[in-house]
Amino acid sequence: GGSPSDSNPGTEGGEPKRGGTLTIGEDSQPLSGFDPIMAQSFNSKRMVSQFYEGLLALDTDLETLKPALATEWKEVSSTEYEFTLREGVKFHNGETLTVEDVVFSLKRITDPNQHSPYSSLYNFETIEAVGPNTVKITLDRPQASLLHLLAQPWSAGIVDESWMQGKDKDVLKTQANGTGPFKLQSFQEGSLISTVRFDGYWDSERPYLDRVDYRLMADESTRQQALSSGAVDMVQVRLPRNATALGDRGMKVGDGFNLTYWVGLDVSQGPLANDKVRQAISLGLDRKQLIEIGSQGTGELAYTVPPADPLGAPASEDTPFYKHDPERAKQLLAESGVTNVKLKLAIQSENQQSLPTAQLMSEQLKKIGVDLQVQQVPFATLVSNLLSGNWQADMIQLNAALNADASQYLALWFAKGIPSTKVDDQKLWDMMENAISTTDGIEARRTMYKEITDYIATNVYQIVPYASPSQFEVWSPKVQGYQADASGTRLFLKYAWMG
Amino acid sequence: MIGATSSAEASRRDGVTSPGTPLLDIRNLTVAYAQAAPSVQDVTLRVEPGEILGLIGESGSGKSTVAMAALGLLPRDARVTADRFDVCGVDLLSTSSRQLTMLRGSSIAMVFQDAMGALDPCMRVGAQIAEVVKRHQRLKGAACRREVLDLMSRVGLPDPETRARQYPHQLSGGLRQRAAIALALAGKPKILLADEPTTALDVTVQAGILRLFRRIRDELGVGIVLISHDMGVIAQTADRVAVMLDGKVIEQGTVENVLLSPETPYARKLLESAPTLDTAKTRTGADTSDAGVRNSPPDRADLITVAGATRCFRSKGRRVTAVDEVSLTVKQGEVLGVVGESGSGKSTLAKLLVHLDTPDEGALAMEGIEYAKLGSRARRFREAVQMVFQHPAGSLNPRLKVGTSIREPMRSVRAMNRGEAGDRVRELLREVGLPESSEHRLPHEFSGGQKQRIAIARALSCSPRVVILDEPTSALDVSVQAQVLDLLDRVRRQHDLTYVFISHNLAVVRAVSDRVAVMYAGRVVEVGDGETIFANPRHWYTRALLAAVPSTDPRNRDDPTDEAAGVDGRARTPAPVSVDAAACAFATRCPQAQRRCWTEVPSLTVVHGGQQVACHFPHLESTTEPFEDSTTAGGDRTGRVSW
Amino acid sequence: MPQSVTREPSLVSRPRVPRVPVPPAWVRFVLRRVLRGVLVLFALSLLAFGLVHMLPGSPVDTLAGPYSDAATRARLTTDLGLDKPLPVQYVTWLSNTLRGDLGTSVFNGLPVREMIGERLPNTLELAVFATIISVAWGVPAGALSAMRRGRAVDVTARTVTFVGLAIPVFAFGVALVLLFSILFPAWPTLGFVPFSEDAVRNLQSMLLPSIALGLPLGSTLCRFMRSSMLEVYEQDFIRTALATGSTQLQATMRHGLRNAAAPVATVAGLQMAGIVGNSILIENVFAIPGIGQLTVTAITHLDIAVAQACILVLGATYVVLNLAVDLLLPLIDPQIGKDR
Amino acid sequence: MTAVAPGRAGTASRGWWSPVLSVFRSRREAAVGVVLLVTLVVLSMTVSLWTNYSPSEVAGAPFSAPSGAHPLGTDDLGRDYLVRLLTAGQTSLGIAFFAAGIALLVGSAIGIAAGLRGGWLDSVLMAVIDLVLSFPSLLLALSAVTVFSPTKTTLVLVLALIAVPQFARVVRSRCMELREREFVLSARVSGVPDPIIAVKHLVPNVLPLMTVQFANTAAIAILVESSLSYLGLGVQPPDPSWGNMIYASQNYMTDSPWLPLGPAGVLLLASVAWGLIGEGFNSGRRSLI
Ligand SMILES: Nc1ncnc2c1ncn2[C@@H]1O[C@H](COP(=O)(O)OP(=O)(O)OP(=O)(O)O)[C@@H](O)[C@H]1O
Ligand SMILES: Nc1ncnc2c1ncn2[C@@H]1O[C@H](COP(=O)(O)OP(=O)(O)OP(=O)(O)O)[C@@H](O)[C@H]1O
Ligand SMILES: [Mg+2]
Ligand SMILES: [Mg+2]
């Protein structure tokens, strides 16, 4: 274990001290409440990470595993794992953590009645207590992502079984009883979530803050103003320019973590079924300009798997069809025999970052004779369209969030046999399957994913203009010891203190 | 004091030279609105304390402008010049606006035509008067209250305590006008301007108000300028008269001089064309050829029959029975006059007659065919029954050319083609005395009388058999009114038309009608042969109406001693505590009301010949002595009844 | 009873009594209005239900998220009752609603009634303040501008109303925040605090949003007031007031305002209902937990129960406010509705 | 004998539109409004003829301040702001015009029908209007645009839908007044059928009022469109509209104030223009009838 790396600018304030209230301006409240295994959106995960913990935890690189509720763990075989629990860990209500709680919590993830979106990521066969302090997990097939999943508070947060008994299934959406550093004090729907220090926290020094308040401020300029005027101490902003502007006014801006700006293609029909058209489109895009202007200079070339992911790999101009070449694009378009290419791109209406890039793409493609219509659609509708397979557009734009496992990025777009998948490529599916089940270590997996994403780029199954931070955490200089993390969920808030 | 020439000239025009400072001294006043030609030109007027000056003239002659100028309330764009313009010794031309404000209400005050409009509808009557009392008499609290109540009873508002707490809409028209007068008197002004103060009122109420003016003058010694276009009003009230024409005063003098022996032809014409209650004979004399027809209506066939028609309205939660169980017949070829005060249901009845509206109860029929069952004969009906309205301006679409308006009924009812209709339009225009070229002009290019001619042409365009005329001349000046009445009469004879002639002007009705129906509160209270009814009214309301018509002869002024009791809107007879729904509507104002009147609605019964009356105790003996106005004079208030 | 006949006459002339005894006019008036309101609400429930169910997509997809599998989503659909036929869903919802059960949010599991109950007061507070502000500037400015028609004041006021009517509320809000944070850095511009928690801070935090909503709306009122006032000025009682020695100001204050107020009050009432709807934007800008914001998020997230309930509640607010204005009007203008 | 009634001079032109034209002549305000609006429209329509940039083309560095090359600077994507602003005018003015136009047609039809006929038709129509009114307009727009996808046609229809109730109410109450006027009554007495009464007698007399309401609606439509843009459901980019430009630029208010000021300014101009037209007709109303 240990504190975040020393390179963090936030740690320069000398000795941490206790006390103080941190007020955070949040862009939205937890969409699915506080239930860890339901948390999918940033806003839910951010809360869940303060209330709950998994058996393990992630270090600041989001790759190295640290002990958390389990002090030790052992891979007995590729399908068998054993965990030894930390002694004396308390839940917020004062009860002590037991093996039964762990077994209950893990089984709960895959319980069909819970509808957890994470259930399909696990290959659990059995989960059992093999000693007073030991839990054994048996898988029905090897799973590379297991430990990582167990280290995220949301995909494997441990809840209190006895407290849950007799309570409504939805109770966790509005109440919380975990082992995390902060406990829920009050939830005023729509305005304020107050949390206070959990005095019985096992990592006894921490957290330093007495209290963290989350105020809902949906409007970005409002959040900016609120931070500048001192009404809040920490916000996220979406537009890089706003982050820079706040930085110029003396605020601390967390590292942005580059996540993919995806443009999924419906290759099953229409002009995009023709691979020459797809290649032409990829070549027609001036990614440099997109990065420069669309991402306001914060982006980088990327594959389908985001660079911020531990398994992500950087792309380059040499990546197939990534170099801007309008002449070649026009030529390919002519060769394809498809004339008068008209395409519709659906983007998220809530995300202010989506639009500029989409507009630029439309403008660039116009130059090679492709008409790209941009349409803003509410996120909920967009996701529905995507999942139902009825896209209502030739292209769908989404931003990646950091996933527990790299396979998820691919599964979203290319998993075999689901309606949302528009490709029909057995080779791709085989590669994906291999990558999931390999347990050869992280380097090997990284290579496999690089190969897969390279393959996707070669076939232009998806267009990735760039990857850029989807949000920036910005906080006032009063806040010390804090470090932003790539998952954007404030995993390390317990190290922060008010200077 | 003043230049010799103008002084001499003024005294010559005045006809009278009176001592003391005049309250109003205007010499050569000229007023022009914006860029227009002067609306008032070289007007010289003078009002002495305790004098009533009558100002007459047709609409637009500048009467109101003079009054407003005297108050200093002309719009900003009006330019005023005068040799002298003094109000109570203050020169209006050189006062500051502050002084002017002080002057208003305390030295000079005004009563406007529409009393409803002159009172703030959102404020209690007492409070409004108190406001002025406070401002000008500097009274407060109880003293102010006392003064308000005193004022109110002085202008004849009964039960001032209650009235003071009421809102204007809770008062009747007459009471409202009295309240407005109280308001004007509240600042103890020395001169009162009254701009058509009674035009909106019923004659019976008007008589009371006029008497009130005279009493105020006598009691308070104020000077009054009474503006009116009604000869009778002036004749009954004014001491001196000024006649205005096109912004100029063309004649001025004592009331007897001006009204009995007018010097200028215009004044003479003005006097001649005003119909009076005695004019019926002269008019009938004019059309000797038809005299026989007019005087023998009984053998005529029934054209339209109204049987027990009732029409109620709900407005703002209130239920108004506008027409209440009316039964009537309109006979072929006759002129049926309908009289009644404002709100008595005349227009509603007219709408029922032309089938613009349907009765809630009862039925109307034309030649035996019920309106409700017209069916395919609707078009024939529309052809046969036409209507002319009161406001000539309103009855023509301001956006349509005159020709189009006249052509409209022919095109829709007769389905005539363009050419035919065009010929007919020109023919009609000639017939009503307008140039053919009028066809291509818009209504606003015509005067009121011309518009009414167009409306008549329009009504005639489908060769109707019956024309309902709803106050067709009451918006017109007397001189124009005479022309229109002549036209109507000529047209009727030419086309053998039947008229239903609605008016609140008894003289006009008398001049044109064969038979007359008198309406009160939605009911027909008396019907009969015109001559008979005017000579021998049986219903107490008809009698009150006739008695209240002011005579245009200033020598026939009613006895001013009557006025002490001149209070209207008040029951003469004790009313029971709870008034039965079945009471006679007139009972509250009837000098003869008895117990039966409060419990039983009188129905129309034949008294004599064709005369029908709805009264339990009609006036039976035929009398020639002047009838005493029950409403306004009401000498015997205990209701002694001899039979 | 001869006695009763000879009793002291009633001095007020008596109106004729209707033949059938009916409840007093105002009772019938209120009953009719209430009945109409209920009908409108019923139709609104149909409309709300229909529209919300027509929204493309399903809450299940948002709930389960893009990475979920089909089986999970199918189970969720069944659990939420979204697989039943629409009429059945409607009847269930309506009967629950009538029993006061507005359902629970599919996302955070909170009872909708609680969510609305917490937010509605904030929106109403905002609406009331905004109305006060709009009336406070719109009515006097309109009156003044009518009084000084064509003069500098009038021109200025009308120019301001044009600006007020031309700037989107949200942009105005953001500009206000900016301006305030520069001019008064200490002002708690953006920290909404519930009234129950700290009344002073609550009022402070409500000031800017109320201004942002109220000033533009005041422009409408100002225009209405001006034209209503000009109409009143043409009436005889103003002339009478002047003729009895009132100054222009006195005539305006004592007679003009109240008479011009009735139509303006109707507009203000309608506007207040409109504010509740338009609060969406301002609540977003000023981070006020109000019902407008809730409705928009519910619609965009497809939180069916919440969206339906919100639309219904907003509609009910409109109906109630309108009713209230109708019932209050007689206080301003005694001619309206009084018949006894 | 009788003097010709005082009328406004110079109204000898023929047809029902002549009073409307004469209002322009006598109403400076309306004339100024029309000139302003026409200028805006002409500039918007001809923008492609006299500028070097296309509205969507990246013409310079993003966020450059106003300069000779870019009189209003450039936006977040480096597009020429002036060109975009004027191009947006086509969309915004067009949407406002069509929305107000449709609202005028539908609303007036409803208003006239209800006002002329009265009775049950009136009750039914007014109940429907009440229903639509009780649905907060922004929400109605929001849900409708979400349901039917935010195309320009949808926007026009939705904005029209919002405006219809107001139109219908105003026109109805006027028609109820007119219905009792003598010239309508005389037409009825002459057996003129209702549709013809509506067209020949009511419409010309309601026209000034409709013009006022049209102008108001057009002004409001631009605002509502911008509010929808704020919620991401207005005119879809890359088509610029004043609304979505204001929305997109409000984030940059601090650092690049010319970005929000530009569209807010033209919006104001257009609104003032519509407003002036409306006021012109409004104050002309009394003298018209
Ligand atoms: N405010 C005004 N602006 C312009 N012209 C006006 C104004 N008021 C009156 N006039 C014109 O001045 C002339 C005289 O009007 P005034 O009202 O004094 O006549 P009047 O004798 O009182 O008529 P009526 O009997 O109809 O009341 C008319 O031609 C009228 O059109
Ligand atoms: N459409 C209506 N709605 C409500 N009340 C009405 C309506 N038409 C007439 N009334 C009422 O019915 C009563 C009779 O009105 P009507 O117009 O028939 O009287 P009138 O004798 O023609 O009066 P005037 O001499 O003033 O023209 C009045 O009290 C009036 O207020
Ligand atoms: Mg006059
Ligand atoms: Mg009448």
Helix or strand (DSSP H, E) at A249: none
3-state secondary structure of B251: strand
Q: Other C-beta atoms within 10 Å of A325: how many?
A: 18
CA distance D19 to D25: 10
**Would the CB of B33 count as within 6 Å of ligand 1?**
yes
What does the block give as tokens for D98? Answer: 């069509």
CA distance A104 to B145: 87
What does the block give as tokens for B14? Answer: 């005045």
Residue of B346, B509, B524 best suited for mutating to test ligand 2, as the one with most atoms within 8 Å of CB:
B346
Question: B597, B524 in Cβ contact below 8 A?
Answer: no
Within a domain: C244: yes
The 10s digit of each residue's pLDDT in B68-118 is 899 888 887 888 999 998 888 888 888 888 888 888 888 999 988 777 778
pLDDT given at position B558: 65
How far out from the chain centre does Cα A433 lie?
22
Q: Other C-beta atoms within 10 Å of A77: how many?
A: 10
CA distance B130 to B123: 11
Ligand 1 atom closest to B65 (CA): 18
pLDDT given at position D40: 92
How far out from the chain centre does Cα C8 lie?
51
The 10s digit of each residue's pLDDT in B594-618 is 888 888 888 888 887 778 888 888 8
pLDDT at A396 over 90: yes
When CB atoms are compared, the residue of D63, D76, D236 closest to A376 is D236
3-state secondary structure of B16: coil
CA distance B381 to B369: 10
Q: How far is CA B204 from CA B544, B584, C213, in A?
A: 7, 19, 57
Q: Is A248 exposed, middle or buried (0-12, 13-18, 19+ CB in 10 A)?
A: exposed
pLDDT, averaged across chain B: 80
Within a domain: C67: no
Q: Which residues pair with B312 in a beta bridge?
A: B321
Question: D40, B481 in Cβ contact below 8 A?
Answer: no
Residues of D with CB under 8 A from a CB of C: 127, 130-131, 133-139, 142-144, 146-147, 219-220, 223, 226-227, 230-231, 243, 246-247, 250, 253-254, 260, 264, 267-268, 270-272, 275, 279, 282
A67 falls in which pLDDT band (50, 70, 90)?
very high
Ligand 2 atom closest to B504 (CA): 25
Within a domain: D45: yes
Number of domains in chain C: 1
Measured between CA atoms, the residue of chain B closest to residue D194 is: B412
pLDDT given at position B482: 87
pLDDT at B623 over 80: no
Within a domain: D1: no
A310 vs A210, more confident: A210
CATH code of the domain in which D123 resides: 1.10.3720.10
Radius of gyration of chain D (CA): 22
Within a domain: C94: no
pTM (2 d.p.): 0.79
The 10s digit of each residue's pLDDT in B238-265 is 999 999 988 999 999 999 888 888 889 9
When CB atoms are compared, the residue of D4, D7, D191 closest to B412 is D191
* Rounded-to-10 torsion of CA B135, B139, B142, B147: -80
A461 falls in which pLDDT band (50, 70, 90)?
very high
C166 vs B19, more confident: C166
Residue of B26, B34, B28, B30 whose CA lies nearest to B78? B34
What does the block give as tokens for B514? Answer: 């064969």
Q: Is B431 exposed, middle or buried (0-12, 13-18, 19+ CB in 10 A)?
A: middle
Indicate yes or no: CB of A350 within 8 angstroms of CB of D232. yes
pLDDT at B287 over 80: no
Helix or strand (DSSP H, E) at B25: strand B24-33
pLDDT given at position B298: 53
CA distance A110 to A215: 33
Provide the 8-state DSSP code for D202.
I
Within a domain: C61: no
For every residue of B322-364, DSSP letters joined together read EEEEEEEEEETT-EEEEEE-TTSSHHHHHHHHTTSS--SEEEE
Question: What is the mean predicted confidence (pLDDT) over D196-220?
Answer: 85
3-state secondary structure of D239: coil
3-state secondary structure of B558: coil
Range of the domain at D91: 39-53+79-287
HEC readout, chain C: CHHHHHCCCCCCCCCCCCCCCCCCHHHHHHHHHHHHHHHHHHHHHHHHHHHHHHCCCCHHHHHHCCCCCHHHHHHHHHHCCCCCCHHHHHHHHHHHHHCCCCCECCCCCCEHHHHHHHHHHHHHHHHHHHHHHHHHHHHHHHHHHHHCCCCHHHHHHHHHHHHHHHCCHHHHHHHHHHHHHHHCCCCCCCCCCCCCCCHHHHHHHHHHHHHHHHHHHHHHHHHHHHHHHHHHHCCHHHHHHHHCCCCHHHHHHHHHHHHHHHHHHHHHHHHHHHHHHHHHHHHHHHCCCCHHHHHHHHHHHCCHHHHHHHHHHHHHHHHHHHHHHHHHHHHHCCCCCCCC
The 10s digit of each residue's pLDDT in B117-145 is 788 888 899 999 999 999 888 888 899 99
**Would the CB of B63 count as within 6 Å of ligand 1?**
yes
Question: What is the mean predicted confidence (pLDDT) over A208-225?
Answer: 88
CB contacts < 8 A, C to D, total 120
Chain C residues closer than 8 Å to D250 by CB: 170-171, 174
Question: What is the mean predicted confidence (pLDDT) over A91-110?
Answer: 91
Which backbone phi and psi does B74 adopt, to 5 degrees? -75, 155
What does the block give as tokens for D202? Answer: 């009511």
Question: What is the mean predicted confidence (pLDDT) over A332-357?
Answer: 88
Helices within chain D (DSSP H only): 17-26, 28-50, 81-117, 119-134, 137-148, 152-179, 182-189, 194-196, 203-230, 242-249, 258-288
- When scoring B432, B442, B451, B453 by the number of chain D Cβ atoms within 10 A, the one with the most, hence best to mutate, is B442
Q: How far is the CA of B451 from the centre of ligand 4 (A)?
A: 19
pLDDT at B11 over 50: no
pLDDT at B314 over 60: yes
- My answer on whether omega of the bond before D238 falls inside 30° of 0, hence cis, is yes
Range of the domain at C288: 114-301
CA distance C222 to C135: 8
Within a domain: D24: no
Question: C20, D107 in Cβ contact below 8 A?
Answer: no
Question: B235, B550 in Cβ contact below 8 A?
Answer: yes
CATH code of the domain in which C150 resides: 1.10.3720.10
Ligand 2 atom closest to B340 (CA): 21
What does the block give as tokens for B246? Answer: 């096109």
pLDDT given at position B621: 63
**Would the CB of B65 count as within 6 Å of ligand 1?**
yes
- Non-local CB neighbours of C99 within 8 Å, separated by 6+ positions: none
Within a domain: D59: no
Neighbours of chain C (3+ CB pairs under 8 A): A, B, D
3-state secondary structure of D209: helix
Digitized pLDDT (tens) for each residue of chain C, 340 residues in all: 333 333 333 333 334 444 455 566 667 777 877 888 888 888 889 988 988 888 887 888 877 777 777 777 888 888 888 888 889 999 999 999 899 888 888 887 888 998 898 888 888 888 889 989 998 999 899 988 888 887 888 888 888 888 887 788 888 888 888 788 778 777 766 667 777 778 888 888 888 889 888 888 888 888 888 888 888 888 888 888 888 888 888 888 888 888 888 778 877 777 776 777 677 788 888 888 888 888 888 888 888 889 999 888 888 888 888 778 777 777 777 766 443 3
3-state secondary structure of B84: strand
When CB atoms are compared, the residue of D6, D190, D205 closest to B408 is D190
Query: Which residues approach ligand 2 with their CB closer than 6 A?
Result: B 313, 315, 320, 322, 340, 342-348, 504
Indicate yes or no: CB of C258 within 8 angstroms of CB of B186. no
Ligand 1 atom closest to B75 (CA): 1
3-state secondary structure of D79: strand
Interchain contact A170–C (C-beta under 8 A) = yes
Query: Over the range A149-178, which residues count as b (16 or more CB within 10 Å of their CB) and which as e?
Result: bbbbbbbbbbbbbebbeeeeebbbbbbbbb
- When scoring D36, D40, D123, D143 by the number of chain C Cβ atoms within 10 A, the one with the most, hence best to mutate, is D143
A17 vs B562, more confident: A17
Helix or strand (DSSP H, E) at B509: helix B506-512
Interchain contact D146–A (C-beta under 8 A) = yes
Which CATH architecture group holds B303-535? 3-Layer(aba) Sandwich (3.40)
pLDDT, averaged across chain D: 81
CA distance A32 to A48: 11
> Between residues 207 and 236 of chain D, which touch chain A (CB distance below 8 Å)?
231-233, 236
The 10s digit of each residue's pLDDT in D239-288 is 888 888 888 887 787 788 888 888 888 888 888 888 788 777 665 433 22
B198 vs B317, more confident: B198
pLDDT at B284 over 70: no
D240 vs D10, more confident: D240
Provide the 8-state DSSP code for A246.
H
Number of domains in chain D: 1
Question: What is the mean predicted confidence (pLDDT) over A438-466?
Answer: 90
- C near B: at least 3 beta-carbon pairs less than 8 Å apart: yes
Question: C205, C191 in Cβ contact below 8 A?
Answer: yes
Residue of B29, B31, B33, B43 best suited for mutating to test ligand 1, as the one with most atoms within 8 Å of CB:
B33
Q: How far is the CA of B347 from the centre of ligand 2 (A)?
A: 7
Question: What is the predicted ipTM?
Answer: 0.77
When CB atoms are compared, the residue of A352, A358, A376 closest to D251 is A352
- Non-local CB neighbours of A83 within 8 Å, separated by 6+ positions: A55, A70, A72, A73, A74, A102, A134, A135, A136, A137
B564 falls in which pLDDT band (50, 70, 90)?
very low
Question: A29, A43 in Cβ contact below 8 A?
Answer: yes
Q: Is the four-CA dihedral C83, C87, C90, C92 of positive or negative sign?
A: negative
Question: C155, C240 in Cβ contact below 8 A?
Answer: no
CA distance D279 to A127: 77
Least confident of A173-187, B170-184, C82-96: B170-184
Q: Which amino acid is at A489?
A: T
Question: A142, A160 in Cβ contact below 8 A?
Answer: no
- When scoring C35, C219, C280, C283 by the number of chain D Cβ atoms within 10 A, the one with the most, hence best to mutate, is C280
Question: What is the mean predicted confidence (pLDDT) over A131-154?
Answer: 89
What does the block give as tokens for A77? Answer: 């075989």
When CB atoms are compared, the residue of B389, B399, B447 closest to D186 is B389
Ligand 2 atom closest to B314 (CA): 4
Q: How far is the CA of B66 from the centre of ligand 3 (A)?
A: 9
D21 falls in which pLDDT band (50, 70, 90)?
low
- C near D: at least 3 beta-carbon pairs less than 8 Å apart: yes
pLDDT at A127 over 90: yes
Within a domain: C63: no
When CB atoms are compared, the residue of C67, C71, C190 closest to A225 is C190
Measured between CA atoms, the residue of chain A closest to residue D152 is: A375
Within a domain: C10: no
Question: What is the mean predicted confidence (pLDDT) over D38-48?
Answer: 91
Helix or strand (DSSP H, E) at B80: strand B78-81
- A near B: at least 3 beta-carbon pairs less than 8 Å apart: no
- My answer on whether omega of the bond before D237 falls inside 30° of 0, hence cis, is no
Residues of D with CB under 8 A from a CB of B: 1-8, 11, 14, 16, 18-19, 181-183, 185-193, 196, 200-201, 204-205, 288-289
The 10s digit of each residue's pLDDT in A248-295 is 989 999 888 888 999 999 999 889 999 999 999 999 999 999 999 988
